[in-house]
Amino acid sequence: MHLYGGALQVFYLLRGLAQKPFRNVLVCPEGSAIAKAAAEVVDKVYEVPMKGDLDVGFIGRLRKIIKAEQADLVHLHSRRGADVLGGVAAKLEKTRCVVSRRVDNPEPPFIAKLKYRLFDKVITISNGIRNVLLSEGVPAEQVVCVHSAVDVEKFDRPAERDWFLKEFDLPENARVLAVIAQLIHRKGHRHLFAALPEVLAKHPEVQVFLFGKGPLKDELQQQIEAQGLQNNVRLIGFRDDLERVLPCLYGVVHPADMEGLGVSLLQAAAAGVPLIGTDAGGVPEIVRDGENGILVQPQNVDQLRAAMLYLLDDAEQAKHWGLAGKQIANQAFSIAAMVAGNAGVYNTLFADEAEQ
C-alpha cells in the first residue's frame, strides 16, 4: 500500500518502460500509493480489490482487464493475490506471464514445481533468491536474476549534520547506527539488542535508530526497556525523507535471518554509508565483505558485536567503505540496468512467440 520496497521498484520499472516501445497498464490495490505515483508514467491504472491468496475473485477481475487491454504479457509483482491467482488468470487467457520474486522464503519443492509452471519466466531480484528456486527444482532456464535498483542521484547528497542533530535531538558527539527494516521477526532486531550492551559500554555516544513499521513494535519497545537500552535505542517509525537522513548515519546494520536483497541496504550504499549485514539471501550481493562493509553469519551475536565495534573503532575505514558503496550502487544497481534487464526478459518472450 506504501511506495517503498517492492512497490517502489515497480514504479521505477514503469517509469523506465515509459521510454521504451511498450504500452504499460498498472493493476494495483485500491487506495495504494503507487496508483497516484504511476498515473503520469503509464497509459492506464486499474485500482481493484486485492484481498490476498484466497481472493479467487481476483482471477476474474484480472481476466477482464487482460481482455480489455488485449495484453501481450502480464508481469506479476505483488503477493496480494497477484502471484498464483494472477498466473491462473493469465494462463486462462493464454497470455504470456512473468512473475517477480522478491523474497527468499523456501517453499516445498512439490509446491514450487506446480506454482512456477504458471509462469513463462521468473525474475528474481537477487542470485540468492534464484538459488533458492533452483534448489526447489525450478528449471534454471526459467529463472532470471535482475537486481533491484536504487535511485542513486536521490541518495547521493551531502550530510546535513546540523539539521540531523536538531531533528532527532542529539548531542554534538552522537554517532548513529540504524536498522532500516520492517519490524518483523526475520529482520533480526533481537540479535542487535543482544550485541549492544558491550558496544555501548565502549562507545556510549552511539545511538541506534530503528526505522520501519511492523507488528513487533510494542514487543521491541518492551525489550528495549527491559534491557535498559532506552537512552541509546529508539523506534523511529517510517520516514519519507530517508534520502536526507541516510547521509548523516555512521553506519547501517542489517541483522536479518533471511532477506531477498534489502532495498534499504542499496539506499544506504548509494548514500555512502558503510554496511554490516548477514550472509543471508541476496545481502552479500550488496554488502561485500571488506569492500564496503562487513558480513556476519545470521544469528551470530558475537560476530555482529565484533563487526559493530570494528566499524566504530576505525572511522577512516568506515569512510572508505562508504565511498566504495557508492561505486557499487552506481555500477551494479542502477535503475537503467534494472529496467533494461526486465525489458530484456519481455523481448526474449516476444521473440520466442514470433518464432512459434
Instruction: Sketch the domain layout of the chain as residue ranges.
Output: 6-149+334-355, 152-332
CB count in 10 Å sphere of residue 260 = 24
Of the ranges 79-88, 97-106, 261-270, 297-306, which one carries the lowest mean pLDDT score? 79-88
Range 284-305 average pLDDT: 96
Instruction: List the one residue out of 267, 301, 295, 300 whose CA is nearest residue 281.
Output: 295
Q: Which residues pair with 123 in a beta bridge?
A: 100, 144
Cβ 187 vs Cβ 181: under 8 Å: yes
Does the predicted model carry a pTM greater than 0.85? no
> What confidence category does residue 166 fall into, taking pLDDT thresholds of 50, 70 and 90?
very high
Helices and strands: H and E segment counts in the chain: 15, 12
| Rounded Cα distance, 266 and 152, in Å | 9
Task: Give CA torsion, residues 118, 123, 126, 128, to 10 deg.
Answer: 30
Q: In terms of CATH architecture, what is 152-332? A: 3-Layer(aba) Sandwich (3.40)
Is the pLDDT confidence value at 84 over 80? yes
- Would you state the pLDDT for residue 356? 61
pLDDT at 139: 95
Cell numbers for 237: 517509525
Nearest Cα to Cα of residue 10 among 1, 274, 115: 1
Top pLDDT among 41 and 79 is at 41
Instruction: Please tell me the class of the 6-149+334-355 domain.
Output: alpha beta
Q: Which residues contact 158 (CB under 8 A, 6 or more apart)?
A: 247
CB 10 within 8 A of CB 77: yes
- Note the helical H segments in 80-126: 84-92, 109-115
Assign 346 to helix, strand or coil.
helix
Q: How far is CA 42 from CA 11, 14, 15, 220, 321, in A?
A: 10, 7, 8, 40, 38
8 Å CB contact between 233 and 222: no
Domains 6-149+334-355 and 152-332 share a fold: yes
Which grid coordinates belong to 32? Answer: 495504494
pLDDT class of 240 with cuts at 50, 70, 90: confident
pLDDT digits (tens, 9 = 90+) for 214-238: 999 999 999 999 999 999 999 999 9
262 band by pLDDT with thresholds 50, 70 and 90: confident
- State the Cα–Cα distance between residues 164 and 38, nearest whole angstrom: 31
Amino acid at residue number 139: P
Would you give the DSSP letter of residue 216?
T
Q: Are 55 and 81 in contact (CB under 8 A)?
A: yes
Can you say how many angstroms the Cα of residue 45 is from the centroid of all Cα atoms in its chain? 23
Mean pLDDT along residues 276-286: 93
